C-alpha cells in the first residue's frame, strides 16, 4: 500500500482535524481525545462539500451545505440514504503522519 506524508503529530496540538486533498478527494486526519489518529474521507457524498468546514459535535459532523450528518468514527451517514465515508489507513513514523492513497473500505 502506498502512503504519503501529510503532516506531523504536533500539527494537531491545537486543531484536532485537518483536511487534505488526495487524488481529487478530501481526506480528514483526525486526532481523537486519547491522542490516537485516524483518516477518513471528508467529502460529503451529496455534493462533495468539505465536512471539516461543517459543525462537529460529539463525533457527528454536519455538512455546511445541506445538513447531511455523518458519524466521523464509522463514516455512517445518519440522516440520508447515502454510502458511507471510507477510511484510509494511517500510520505514524517518528512523529510524521502518513496516510494511504486509497481507501481501505
- Say if residue 73's pLDDT is above 80: yes
* SS3 per-residue string spanning 40-83: EECECCCCCCEHHHCEEECCEEECCCCCCEEECCCCCECCCCCC
Write the pLDDT tens digit of every residue in 21-66: 998 899 999 999 999 999 999 999 999 999 999 999 999 999 999 9
Q: What is the pTM of this model?
A: 0.92
pLDDT above 80 for 105: no
pLDDT tens for each residue of 77-99: 999 888 999 999 999 999 999 99
The C-alpha cell of 17 is what?
482535524
Amino acid at each position: 500500500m502506498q502512503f504519503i506524508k501529510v503532516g506531523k503529530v504536533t500539527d494537531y496540538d491545537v486543531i484536532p482535524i485537518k483536511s487534505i486533498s488526495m487524488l481529487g478527494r478530501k481526506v480528514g486526519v483526525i486526532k481523537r481525545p486519547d491522542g490516537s489518529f485516524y483518516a477518513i474521507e471528508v467529502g460529503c457524498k451529496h455534493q462533495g462539500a468539505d465536512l471539516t468546514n461543517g459543525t462537529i459535535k460529539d463525533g457527528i459532523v454536519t455538512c455546511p451545505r445541506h445538513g447531511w450528518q455523518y458519524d466521523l468514527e464509522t463514516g455512517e451517514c445518519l440522516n440520508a440514504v447515502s454510502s458511507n465515508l471510507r477510511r484510509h489507513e494511517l500510520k505514524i513514523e517518528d512523529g510524521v503522519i502518513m496516510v494511504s492513497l486509497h481507501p481501505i473500505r
